[in-house]
């Protein structure tokens, strides 16, 4: 069946630093659940607002040499949204880590997002249940906080003072009244 062209999987590509990079293999269930959960959080919150969330699969045109497909983004300028994707800088970008893409998400992509002026960037790791939240400060994407959803066995090992330091929710810098719960981001992630 793999030889039948009707059953061939599409090849997903990004343009990274002028080089075409295949995005394969396709994301895992945990990757898709995480990205979908984040999209639903922003979709519910932004319903009826000017800003719009986009899920995985929407192309982002940033420079002549960089066309990415982030796992999620929020765009507050409707003029940037075109039929073939987003042309210009989104306000927030989310990349969910995969072994095959982590070096780009932490390296070249982060550098391009910074250079172009993305206000907030998340690197989300479903395996470790963490969200690295970067904020643009004086032209640089600086690590603001790493949020972690602890497994029950880890929580039980903490003393009372350590538990007091653990947060289970955070705020997106773009929306002061949106509280994001880690358990909502990692809901049903195995």
Supply the CATH number for residue 74's domain.
Answer: 3.90.1570.10
Is there a domain that residue 48 lies in?
yes
Mean pLDDT of 115-130: 97
The per-residue pLDDT of the chain, averaged, comes to: 90
Q: Quick one: what percent of the chain has pLDDT higher than 70?
A: 91
Mean pLDDT of 146-154: 89
Is there a domain that residue 149 lies in?
yes
Mean pLDDT of 157-165: 86
Is there a domain that residue 190 lies in?
no
Q: Is the pLDDT of residue 118 over 70?
A: yes
Mean pLDDT of 44-58: 96
Per the confidence metrics, is the pTM higher than 0.85?
yes
Number of domains in the chain: 1
Q: Is the pLDDT of residue 16 over 80?
A: no
Is there a domain that residue 82 lies in?
yes
Q: Name beta bridge partners: 165.
A: none
Q: Is the pLDDT of residue 7 over 60?
A: no
What digits encode the pLDDT tens for the residues 56-107? 999 999 999 999 999 999 999 999 999 999 999 999 999 999 888 899 999 9
Domain that holds residue 181: 5-185
Q: Is the pLDDT of residue 33 over 80?
A: yes
Q: Is the pLDDT of residue 19 over 90?
A: no
Q: Is the pLDDT of residue 122 over 80?
A: yes
**Contacts with 184 (C-beta within 8 Å, 6 or more apart), sequence order:** 37, 41
Residue 14 and residue 69 in contact, taking contact as beta carbons nearer than 8 Å: yes
pLDDT band at 1 (very low <50, low <70, confident <90, very high): very low
Mean pLDDT of 139-148: 96
């Amino acid at each position: 069946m793999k030889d039948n062209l009707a059953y061939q999987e599409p090849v997903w590509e990004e343009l990274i630093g002028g080089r075409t990079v295949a995005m394969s293999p396709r994301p895992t269930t945990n990757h898709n659940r995480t990205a979908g959960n984040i999209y639903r959080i922003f979709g519910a919150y932004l319903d009826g607002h000017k800003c719009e969330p986009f899920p995985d699969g929407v192309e982002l045109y940033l420079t002549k040499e960089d066309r990415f497909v982030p796992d999620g983004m929020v765009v507050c300028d409707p003029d940037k949204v075109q039929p073939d994707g987003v042309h210009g800088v989104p306000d927030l970008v989310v990349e969910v880590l995969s072994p095959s893409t982590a070096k780009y998400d932490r390296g070249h992509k982060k550098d391009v997002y910074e250079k172009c002026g993305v206000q907030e960037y998340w690197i989300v790791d479903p395996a470790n249940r963490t969200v690295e939240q970067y904020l643009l400060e004086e032209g640089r994407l600086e690590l603001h906080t790493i949020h972690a959803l602890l497994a029950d066995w880890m929580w039980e090992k903490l003393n009372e003072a350590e538990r007091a330091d653990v947060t289970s929710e955070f705020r997106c810098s773009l929306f002061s009244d949106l509280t994001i719960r880690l358990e909502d981001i990692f809901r049903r992630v195995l």
